[in-house]
Structure 1
């Protein structure tokens, strides 16, 4: 199939981006590797003074017959051995490994070739890109990618759109740069396209229209909801209609799982006959629908390998990635060389199929954790119309929706203010020895000046509050005990 190039969205760049020039020092750094050049042009320390001679790491070996949580024995039958040397002489991209003499040096702000080649192949395999000039850029993870995105596209006073409840750090990063975060309502199935379209169709013409929609489509943080493929198609159409860029933040994408079955006898974990069958089972991504370069996808190893790797990547058009590269050359320089050497060395030995085996193993683990959590919620949360459980089909989080107006003292002690009920519940559950966090910590409350129409700010349930918990952080017995304490605290607070 012949595909065309992306559109040019440079008209949406911030003033800072339009004014930024490429670093002239970075334009010649590739000559450092040329044996015919006596390189006196940059402050690159000699690699002989890097104290690390080699790195040796072990991981389980695909297909992970004993499960992804089993420690490798050290034997060749179940252990993947990675040894990265300092002074191994290889042309960039010609081997599985990134020698430390290169990974610990300046340069390669886009990312090391051995890392990029694996992730580029993975991206095409999973998402089947629909335009020709797409590419990837290595990052320090999605939090850093979001910070860069705000600088690249937003001026002070601009507005972005986001789910009404969204990752609090993303809200705070935007607000710190003087950017408004305007909420779009969501339900059990994620962001509501009809509300998004209504907000944009009725946007106050006296204010600048948003350039970006920030969304966490899969296993949304904090609600645990996941957008259906049909909703994504609608949202993409709306983005085209209003010349909006979609920023899909997808750290939980591969933590997809089977639909929850309340009756344990009806549960049957999905087994995949092939890697292709697994890939086809995954939800469509926004980037897989994109034919114009309108989607910027942020991916990360934080939830599938380890948060401390601080390694991820952005998928976007080459035109847009150029702006990220120019910024990164003057800010982060490049992601950690140690991380790139270790991750690339491991993944290039596992291969694409081995990495998919790992992700399938993650799915099995999170499927079990999710089932235990939701089982416990149905067992311990009081049966009452005041409480609504929405079993997630992806991610790390569960939420309990609570009708604050059902509290027996809502109108008296709490002055008919749901936020006061929410705070009281939070204090009660912490005193009961469990931590679940209130939705107020994740709520987007931004507006423009002059403001948007009242109808655009209308909430689905003005008296509703939510609490977020995770099934990822503790063993299963502690997970059940924590939810039990949560349920007892609610029973006492609501006098049930």
Structure 2
């Protein structure tokens, strides 16, 4: 299939992004390792002054026959050994490794070539890109990528759209830059396209329209909801109609699972005949629907390899990627060289098939954790319509939705204010020895000046609150124990 090039979306760039120039110093760093050049052009220390001579790390070896959680023995049959040396002569792209002489040096703001080549191939395999001039760049993870996105596209006083409840750090990062975070209602299945379209169709014409939608489509944090392919297609259509960009924040994309089955006898773990079958089972990404270059995808190794790697990547049109690179040349310089050496060396030895084997293994692990959590909720939560659990099909979070109006002291003690009930429940949980997080901590509630019509901010169920829990952070026995404490605390609080 012939595909075209991305549209020019530079009209969305902030004044800061439009004013920023490429660093001329960065244009010549590639000559540092050219043996025909005597390099006197930059403040790059000799790598012999780096105290690390080599780096060795071990990981399990694909296809992970003993499971992804089984530690490597050190033997060749189950251990992948990455041995990175301080090699001053290796040029970028010559090997599968990022030598320490280069990894720990200035340069390569877009990312080390050995890492970028892997994620480019991975992106092409998984997302079936619909335009030709796309590219990738390394980031310090999705939180850092979001901070950069705000600087590139937004001015103080601009408005962005988000799910009504979303990752609180993303809200705070925007608000700190003077950006309005306008909420879009969501249900058990994520953003409601009809509500999004209604809000934009009835936008106050005296206020600037949003230029960006920030969304966590898969295993949404905090609600655990996941957008269907049909909803994504509708949201993309609305983005075209009202001309805004979509930032899909997808750290949980590969933590997709089977649909929860309460009857244990009917459960069966999905197996895949091939890696192609696994890829075909995944929900479509926004970037895979994008024919114009109006989607920016933020991917991360945080939830699939390790949060402390602080390594992720952006997929976008080359025009947009180059704008991120110019910013990063002046800010982060580049993600950690150690992380790029370790992750790049590991993934290039695993190969694309090995990495997919790892992701399939994660699916098995999270499927079990999810099932244990939801089983425990069914077992320990009081059986009443007051409480609602939406079993997630991706991610690491579950939510307990609570109708506060059914609290016996809703009007008398709590003055018919859901937020007061929420705080009381939170304190009761802590008192009971379990931490589960109030939904209010994730609420987007910004507005424009002049404000939007009241109907645009109408809540679907104003007396309902929710609490977010995770099934990822503790062993299965502790998970069940914690959920039991949640059930007991709710039973006591609601006098059931």
Within-5 A mapping of 1:386-405: 386-405=386-405
SS of alignment partner, residue 329 of structure 1: helix
Superposition map of 1:343-382 within 5 A:
343-382=343-382
**Residue number in structure 2 paired with 1:77:** 77
Displacement of 1:88 after TM fit?
5.8
Q: Distance in 2 between matches of 1:90 and 1:345?
A: 14
Q: Which residue of 1 aligns with 2:241?
A: 241
Instruction: Name 2:320's counterpart in structure 1.
Output: 320
Asked if 1 retains the 8 angstrom alpha-carbon contact of 2:33 and 2:89, the reply is no
Shift of 1:89: 3.0
Q: CA deviation at 1:195?
A: 0.5
- 1:192 partnered with 2:192: yes
Number of aligned residue pairs: give it: 496
Aligned to 1:163: 163
Q: Is the 2:425–2:493 contact (alpha carbons within 8 Å) kept by the matching residues of 1?
A: yes
Partner of 2:443: 443
Partner residue, 1:228: 228
Helix, strand or coil for the counterpart of 1:313? strand
User: Is 1:256 the counterpart of 2:256 in the alignment?
Assistant: yes
Aligned equivalents of 1:154, 1:75: Cα separation in 2: 52
Asked whether the equivalents of residues 256 and 394 of structure 2 are also in contact (C-alpha less than 8 Å), the reply is yes
Aligned to 1:278: 278
Instruction: Name the CA distance, whole Å, in 1 between partners of 2:207 and 2:33.
Output: 51
More displaced stretch, 337-346 vs 22-31: 22-31
Q: Which residue of 2 aligns with 1:469?
A: 469
> What pairs up with 1:103-114 in 2 under 5 angstroms?
103-114=103-114
**How do residues 141-156 of structure 1 correspond to structure 2 at under 5 angstroms?**
141-156=141-156
Q: Secondary structure at the match of 2:296?
A: strand
**2:139 aligned residue:** 139
Query: Shift in Å at residue 90 of structure 1?
Result: 2.4
1:94 is displaced (CA, Å) by 2.0
1-structure distance, mates of 2:162, 2:483: 29
Kindly provide the CA deviation profile for residues 387-415 of structure 1, in whole angstroms up to 9, marking residues without a partner as x. 00100000000000001101011111000
1:422-457 per-residue CA deviation (whole Å, 9 max, x = no partner) reads 000000011000000000000001001110011100
Q: Is the 8 A contact 2:47 2:88 kept in 1?
A: no
Alpha-carbon distance between aligned partners in 2 of 1:137 and 1:203, rounded to the nearest angstrom: 35
Partner residue in 2 for 1:27: 27
State the distance in 2 between where 1:36 and 1:62 align: 41
What is the deviation of 1:222?
A: 0.3
* SS of structure 2 residue aligned to 1:315: strand
CA drift of 1:28 comes to 1.5
Match for residue 460 of structure 1?
460
Aligned residue number for residue 98 of structure 1: 98
**2:97 partner SS:** coil
What residue number does 2:116 align with?
116
Q: Under a length normalisation based on structure 1, what TM-score does the superposition of the two structures give? A: 0.99
Any idea what the Cα deviations from partners look like across 1:58-97, whole Å, max 9, x if unmatched?
0000000000000000111100011000016322112110
Measure, in 1, the Cα distance between the counterparts of 2:16 and 2:91: 36
Aligned-partner Cα distance in 2 for 1:233–1:87: 48
Q: Within 5 Å, which residues of 2 pair with 1:4-15?
A: 4-15=4-15
RMSD over aligned CA atoms reads 0.6
Look up the SS of the partner of 1:199 in the other structure: helix
Specify the SS of the correspondent of 2:330.
coil
Aligned to 2:182: 182
Q: In structure 1, what is the Cα distance between the partners aligned to 2:421 and 2:73?
A: 52
Matched residues in 1 for 2:447 and 2:124: separation? 38
**1:33–1:89 CA distance, 2 compared to 1 (3 A):** closer
Instruction: Report the Cα distance in structure 2 between the residues aligned to 1:418 and 1:315, rounded to whole angstroms.
Output: 40
User: Structure 2 CA distance, aligned partners of 1:242 and 1:384?
Assistant: 42
| C-alpha distance in 2 between matches for 1:336 and 1:274 | 34
Instruction: Report the TM-score, using the length of structure 2 for normalisation.
Output: 0.99
SS at match of 1:25: helix
Classify the secondary structure of the residue corresponding to 2:151: helix
SS in 1 for 2:123: helix
Summarize deviations over 1:223-260 as a string: whole Å, max 9, x none: 00000000000000000001110000000000000000
CA distance in structure 2 between the aligned counterparts of 1:322 and 1:352, rounded to whole angstroms: 26
Residue 150 of structure 1: SS of its match in structure 2? helix
Task: Report the Cα offset of residue 367 of structure 1.
Answer: 0.1
How far apart, CA to CA, are the structure 1 residues paired with 2:139 and 2:475?
A: 31
- Give the secondary structure class of the aligned counterpart of 1:468: strand
How far did 1:315 drift?
A: 0.2
| CA deviation map 1:289-345 (0-9, x unaligned) | 001001000000000000000000000000011110000000000000000000010
User: Residue 467 of structure 1: SS of its match in structure 2?
Assistant: strand
The separation in 2 between residues aligned to 1:151 and 1:279, in whole angstroms, is 34
Runs of 4 or more consecutive aligned structure 1 residues displaced over 4 Å after TM superposition: none
1:36 Cα deviation (Å)? 1.6
Unaligned ranges ≥5, structure 2: none
Distance across 2 between alignment mates of 1:429 and 1:48: 55
Partner of 2:208: 208
Give me the whole-angstrom Cα distance separating, in 2, the residues matched to 1:122 and 1:6: 20
Whether the 8 Å contact between 2:33 and 2:91 is mirrored in structure 1 is no
- For residues 331-350 of structure 1, the aligned pairs below 5 Å read 331-350=331-350
Verify the 8 A CA contact 2:373 2:479 in the aligned structure 1: yes
**Does the CA contact (< 8 Å) of 2:23 and 2:326 recur in 1?**
yes
